[in-house]
């Protein structure tokens, strides 16, 4: 079975629309290295083809657009204890090629519509956030849940979580909490909300359109098409309901104070905030601390520099025992009782943090993403 499906469909005036479908519904369309490389190759072909004017991106099935990376492959390629992470060709290539794809989507010269139905998590968020037109549905559940497996929010998270008030970005990253479509709209993660049943209508409408040769005109046409779709009736999300509470708890430069403030939500009347506190408490203490520091370091970086920073942090996390332990507890043994190292938040001190921002490749070698954004 093909893990990604590609199709060109004709539009009204002889132009074409490219359709990309992530085709791993059994695995919630988790992104593998092979899938990332295939999408990159296809987007490069369509970028240089004047007949293709617009691209649509979705996941197969009703459950997920993309629920993250291919963790089973990650698990198989983590080096044995004592071996440097740079010895894993798969992992160092995966992060490089995934980020190259994400950056390509962010900077693509033609409109890309993401149909963000169902789970949009981790690597799925990286794909979605670069798209020019991002459509949530009543089933959308967005999260950056990396602390639950011992890594940090990446795929551009140090850039896009910093494009909202810092207390929201910190909360999403440090807790891995899930939010609904209304909150993605509120935070600017998506721009539209439609009903999940309207994909076929969207497909019909883009085929009926006469697409222009100018990008700006096609952006406007897409906006008009998507706005015509009936918005789903979505209740306000926790970010809207609890903005003042979140701001009070998550603002400021003191990590331990913020961590303690969130933990106190375990007794909150707002159930979702209580769940966020529990997720943070159960997550990797090292990942929670690293997430705070990553967002701080990435606050004023360009998109390309954010990816370069994340590459170092993410790859170093992959070489730390927490990733293997997190995947084991979640997917292999499924006991959900990971033994994190360090085991407490106080052990994740400045010395612990510093080594995760040191390049893991041999001295003298260039950054694998050195050319990102050049030219």
CATH code for position 160: 3.90.226.10
Give the tens place of pLDDT for each residue, 147-174: 999 999 999 999 999 999 999 999 999 9
Sheet holding 112-116, edge to edge: 4-10, 16-22, 52-59, 112-116, 133-137, 192-194
Residue 366 falls within a domain, yes or no? no
For residue 234, pLDDT over 90 is answered with no
The whole-number average pLDDT for the span 277-286 is 96
> What pLDDT, on a 0 to 100 scale, did the predictor assign at position 230?
78
For residue 342, whether the previous peptide bond is cis, meaning omega lies within 30 degrees of 0, is yes
Cα 47 to Cα 43: distance, rounded to the nearest angstrom:
6
Cα 8 to Cα 200: distance, rounded to the nearest angstrom:
15
Count of C-beta atoms within a 10 Å radius of residue 146? 30
Total structural domains in the chain?
Answer: 1
The length of the chain, given as a count of residues? 375
> What pLDDT, on a 0 to 100 scale, did the predictor assign at position 233?
82
> What pLDDT, on a 0 to 100 scale, did the predictor assign at position 235?
87
The whole-number average pLDDT for the span 3-15 is 96
Give the tens place of pLDDT for each residue, 310-319: 999 999 999 9
For residue 186, pLDDT over 80 is answered with yes
> What pLDDT, on a 0 to 100 scale, did the predictor assign at position 232?
75
> What pLDDT, on a 0 to 100 scale, did the predictor assign at position 222?
97
For residue 271, pLDDT over 90 is answered with no
> What pLDDT, on a 0 to 100 scale, did the predictor assign at position 99?
98
Residue 190 falls within a domain, yes or no? yes
Look at 374 and 366; give whichever has higher pLDDT: 366
State the chain's mean pLDDT as an integer.
Answer: 95
Q: Are 84 and 360 in contact (CB under 8 A)?
A: yes
Cα 155 to Cα 178: distance, rounded to the nearest angstrom:
17
The whole-number average pLDDT for the span 69-78 is 92
Q: Where are the alpha helices (DSSP H) in 61-135?
A: 71-77, 89-106, 123-129
Residue 80 falls within a domain, yes or no? yes
For residue 110, pLDDT over 80 is answered with yes
The whole-number average pLDDT for the span 85-100 is 96
Residue 375 falls within a domain, yes or no? no
Residue 330 falls within a domain, yes or no? yes
Handedness of CA 281, 314, 110, 28 (dihedral sign): negative
Residue 159 falls within a domain, yes or no? yes
Cα 158 to Cα 332: distance, rounded to the nearest angstrom:
29
> What pLDDT, on a 0 to 100 scale, did the predictor assign at position 269?
66
**Which uninterrupted H or E stretch holds 210?**
none
For residue 255, pLDDT over 80 is answered with yes
Residue-number span of the structural domain to which 281 is assigned: 4-357
The torsion angles phi and psi of 50, rounded to 5 degrees, stand at -65, -20
> What pLDDT, on a 0 to 100 scale, did the predictor assign at position 375?
65
Residue 175 falls within a domain, yes or no? yes
Q: For a pLDDT cut of 90, what percent of the chain falls above it?
A: 93
N-terminal to C-terminal alpha carbon distance within the chain: 37
pLDDT band at 342 (very low <50, low <70, confident <90, very high): very high
For residue 267, pLDDT over 90 is answered with no
Q: Are 68 and 129 in contact (CB under 8 A)?
A: no
Residue 51 falls within a domain, yes or no? yes
């Amino acid at each position: 079975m093909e893990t990604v499906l590609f199709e060109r469909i004709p539009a009204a005036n002889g132009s074409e629309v490219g359709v990309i479908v992530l085709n791993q519904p059994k695995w919630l369309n988790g992104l593998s290295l092979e899938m990332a490389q295939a999408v990159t190759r296809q987007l490069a072909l369509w970028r240089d083809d004047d007949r293709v004017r617009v691209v649509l991106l979705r996941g197969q099935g009703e459950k997920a657009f993309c629920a993250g990376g291919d963790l089973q492959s990650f698990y198989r390629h983590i080096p044995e204890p004592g071996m440097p992470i740079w010895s894993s060709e798969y992992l160092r290539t995966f992060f490089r090629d995934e980020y190259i794809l994400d950056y390509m989507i962010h900077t693509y010269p033609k409109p890309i519509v993401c149909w963000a139905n169902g789970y949009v998590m981790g690597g799925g968020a990286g794909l979605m956030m670069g798209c020019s037109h991002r459509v949530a549905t009543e089933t959308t559940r967005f999260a950056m849940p990396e602390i639950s497996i011992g890594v940090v929010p990446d795929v551009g998270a140090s850039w896009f979580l910093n494009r909202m008030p810092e207390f929201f970005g910190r909360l999403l990253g440090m807790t891995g909490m899930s939010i609904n479509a209304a909150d993605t709209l509120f935070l600017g993660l998506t721009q539209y909300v439609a009903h999940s049943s309207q994909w076929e209508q969207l497909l019909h409408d883009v085929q009926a359109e006469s697409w222009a040769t100018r990008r700006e005109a096609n952006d406007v046409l897409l906006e008009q098409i998507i706005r015509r779709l009936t918005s789903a009736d979505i209740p306000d999300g926790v970010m809207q309901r609890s903005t003042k509470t979140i701001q009070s708890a998550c603002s400021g430069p003191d990590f331990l104070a913020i961590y303690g403030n969130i933990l106190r939500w375990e007794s909150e009347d707002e159930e979702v905030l209580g769940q966020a506190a529990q997720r943070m408490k159960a997550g990797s203490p090292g990942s929670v601390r690293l997430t705070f520091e990553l967002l701080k370091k990435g606050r004023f970086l360009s998109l390309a520099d954010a990816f370069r920073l994340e590459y170092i942090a993410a790859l170093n996390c992959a070489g730390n025992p927490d990733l293997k332990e997190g995947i084991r507890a979640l997917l292999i043994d499924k006991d959900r009782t990971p033994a994190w190292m360090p085991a407490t938040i106080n052990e994740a001190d400045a010395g612990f943090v510093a080594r995760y921002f040191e390049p893991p490749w041999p001295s003298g070698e260039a950054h694998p993403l050195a050319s990102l954004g050049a030219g």
